[in-house]
Amino acid sequence: MAPDGTISAAYVADLERRLAVETAARIEAETRLARVEEARARLERMVKQARHEKFGAKSEKLDPDQRHLPFEDIDVAEGMLAAAGDAAEKAVGNRKKSRKPSNRNKGNLPDHLPRIEQVIEPESRLCPCGCGEMVKVGEDRSERLDVIPAQFRVLVTIRPKYMCRNCAGNSHAQAPAPEWLVPRGLPTEAMVAHCMVAKFGDYLPFYRQADIYRRQGLDLDRTMLANWAGRAAQLLQPVIDAMIADLRRSDRLQMDETYVPVLAPGTGKVRKDFLWAILRDQRGWGGGDPPIVVFRHSRTRSGKIAQTMLKGFTGSTLMADGHPVYDVIADPKQTAKPWTIAYCWTHWRRRFVTFSQSTPSPVCEEMIRRIASLYAIEKEIRGRDPETRRAVRQKLSKPIAEALRPWLEGCLQDLSSTNDLAKHIRYGLKRWDGLTRFLDDGRLEMDTNGVENSIRPIPLTRKNALFAGSIDGAETWARIASLIGTCRLNGVNPEAYIAATLRKILDQHMQSDIAELMPWNFAE
């Protein structure tokens, strides 16, 4: 400051310089703080997502307050209290006859179940007044569900021998011995089918089955059960090959994969292999081909494996999730006959559902609402012919999809490029052509829920069985899962089907008539 009290230009310049330095430092600090806060929020989101995946509900429905899991322990407690109340009323002779009966599971006893009638007669049918025997004028009937525990039995095969005592040639006759699945072994085809479906369909490993059988006094080692399943899978291989041949002629397919732990030979360690599922399901548009799902085993998850799996297929359109492994089969530079990929809306929607569970976001809520409106249209046209489905989608679904893209692009402008929500938006915009392909094709679905539902037993079996003992074990797993999954798609009892098919094969069923053994042609 000058002696006369005025402020010199140099002093002002120095103040401005120091202010600029402080402002730049403050801006840099605020920027670092914003980055730290964003990283912290991202970490908190990851922790919340991990907690939800471990302990939270798995449902992706819009209503978060919906009761997702059955509170079985509470129901048990309620049953105990109800029984105690009934006993107390009975003890004091104050049982209320006017109590409204419970309608729980009322009328759900199927007609095909056998009825065993139990008639309870009064102690005496004589009239107390001495008029003689009373006449029946009606009856009260009530039905309760009963169960006979699984019961094992022994089938004794007897082949009588006959011989002529008169002729010199000692002529004799005896029925030929039937072919058995296990030569001189214990199981019937029904027993083997029961073990196979219990493990590969009901997620019950062989060692647990062995414990159950032991309670019945049967000492069946798990290695024995596994050997039976392997023999059956080998016999059923022509049926699976015929299923694959039928599947190869399909035009539109769905594909997905999941990992399976396999014991690496000689190491004692478990490695991560994969089971691939290929599905044909035309029920959504009234197609005439029966549904099929086929599982294949592989060591790795790569585009080359996907190419190998689809080799020989004549189809043109494949529905899949957005994993890069499927980009290879759509690339004309890497595949001689590239596939057209239609992407799954459920996988895209799941990203917003997961994000909103840890970080409330109006963008996620609006996105989920708009996708729900598309699914509401799909629900109405399910089972209709392809032309009708396409016409409805063009009229109702296409405007929703066309309005969705610019709205998402506008949302991106308000989000940081490193924001997780921005990544989820870009995931769909990058695959937009594949996501909207269903609008122009009535034979396509919006999602791969069909193949996901078929593949769901694999993780459940994986969780209970821990790992497959070898590559052969994993391939056997894939074969049996193919049969059981296809049976379920066609509404066929897999246990009855496998038992009957094994018997036919053992009875020398002709290979030329293999079509008769397909699951969709089976009738109990």
Q: In the chain, what are the domain boundaries?
A: 345-447
Spell out a b/e string for 33-69, using b for 16 or more CB atoms within 10 Å of the CB, else e: eeeeeeeeeeeebeeebeeeeeeeeeeeeeeeeeeee
Nearest to 461 by CA among 245, 295, 241: 295
CB 265 within 8 A of CB 473: no
CB 297 within 8 A of CB 272: no
Angle at which helix 237-248 crosses helix 471-489, to 10 degrees, equals 60
List of residues 6+ apart from 308 with CB closer than 8 A: 298
| DSSP letter (8 states) at residue 101 | P
Instruction: Name residue 102's amino acid.
Output: S
Nearest to 253 by CA among 293, 212, 301: 293
pLDDT of 34: 74
Nearest to 416 by CA among 37, 23, 27: 37
| DSSP letter (8 states) at residue 518 | S
* CA angle, 94 then 100 then 104, to 5°: 125
Kindly provide the residue ranges of all beta strands, DSSP E only, lying in 360-431, ordered along the sequence: none
CB 285 within 8 A of CB 443: yes
CB 391 within 8 A of CB 440: no
Tally: H helices and E strands in the chain: 18, 7
Q: Could you read off the pLDDT of 122-180 as tens digits, one per residue?
A: 888 888 888 888 888 888 888 888 877 777 888 898 989 888 888 876 788 888 888 88
Residue 128 is encoded by which pair of tokens? Answer: 């107390």
Counting beta carbons within 10 angstroms of the beta carbon of residue 454, is it exposed (0 to 12), middle (13 to 18) or buried (19 or more)?
buried
The C-alpha atoms of residue 467 and residue 207 are separated, in whole angstroms, by 13
**The whole model's pTM is what?**
0.73
Torsion from C-alpha of 384, 390, 394, 398, nearest 10 degrees: 90
pLDDT of 438: 94
Residue 400 is encoded by which pair of tokens? Answer: 């929703």
The C-alpha atoms of residue 291 and residue 283 are separated, in whole angstroms, by 8
Instruction: Give φ, ψ of 80 to 5 degrees.
Output: -65, -45
pLDDT of 66: 37
Neighbouring-strand partners of residue 293: 279
pLDDT of 258: 84
Whose tokens are 């909207």? That residue is 436
Low-confidence ranges of the chain (pLDDT < 70): 1-7, 39-108, 169, 264-268, 461-471
The C-alpha atoms of residue 493 and residue 495 are separated, in whole angstroms, by 6
Torsion from C-alpha of 379, 381, 383, 388, nearest 10 degrees: -160
pLDDT of 462: 66
In which element (H, E) is residue 316 found? Answer: none
Please give the full DSSP string across 120-183, using - where no structure is assigned: ---S--B-TTS--BPPP-------------------------EE-SSSTT--EE-PPPPP-SST
